[in-house]
Amino acid sequence: MTIHKEGYKIIFIFFSLLFGIATVINVFAPDQTVVHYIIYFVFTLFWFFIIRFFRVPSRNYILDEKTVLSPADGRIVAIEEIENSEYFGDRRKQVSVFMSINNVHFNIYPVSGIIRFFKYYPGKFLIAYNPKSSLENERTTLVLERNDHRMILLRQIAGAVARRIVSYVAVGNEAQQCQQFGFIKFGSRVDVILPLDAEIKVEINQKVKAGLTVIAVF
């Protein structure tokens, strides 16, 4: 396991803040008491929670051109047919993965292809499993074109706690299946918009792992 690069600054800031507070407490109350030890314990737990949030576990990814892999760790909260007017202008299948604060928060390309579209949208910070979050929250949208010319749309959605979406995406670049394309800081959601001929392989409330769980096949 390693720490994601997006976490370096935040981990350092929180460590400095907690260390500073502990130092001030000891300046004004130098005699060590049970209260001091409780504060140290709580601060240590909080700091390790921040480190845990930015963890990147070691994984042996399953690469297969016929499959669409989960782009994120989390739980399936939506499987439905939708009318996608944002890019395609037709009906598509949508699979949504909700990422809680206990999940790792890097996102990977579920398929290989060429990036044909990318856009950032400012917005609200509704709870990420709310259906309205797909169109009203802060979010990014990218579209991948596979070698067989099937198009897949990915949508990173900020949640009630998340306040920053990071994307390493540029239109025209080649995307490799299981390559990281972004990170969402704290609770969030990723939507995968698929052609109607995609056969969905997951169920509502199923737990999924980025790059390991197959969510659809062609």
Asked about 188 being catalytic, the answer comes back as: yes
**pLDDT surpassing 80 at residue 185:** no
Measured distance CA(125)–CA(137) in Å, rounded: 5
| Catalytic residue (one of 96, 133, 134, 188) | 188
Q: What is the pLDDT of residues 81-120, one digit of tens each?
A: 999 988 999 999 999 999 888 888 889 999 999 999 999 9
Residue 12 neighbours by CB distance under 10 Å: 10
Q: What is the pLDDT of residues 110-152, one digit of tens each?
A: 999 999 999 998 866 566 555 555 566 788 999 999 999 999 9
Mean pLDDT, the chain, whole residue set: 87
Q: String of b and e for 133-144 (b: at least 16 CB within 10 Å)?
A: bbeebbbbbbbb
Residue 106 neighbours by CB distance under 10 Å: 24
Residue range 56-77: average pLDDT? 90
60 falls in which pLDDT band (50, 70, 90)?
A: confident
Q: What is the pLDDT of residue 78?
A: 93
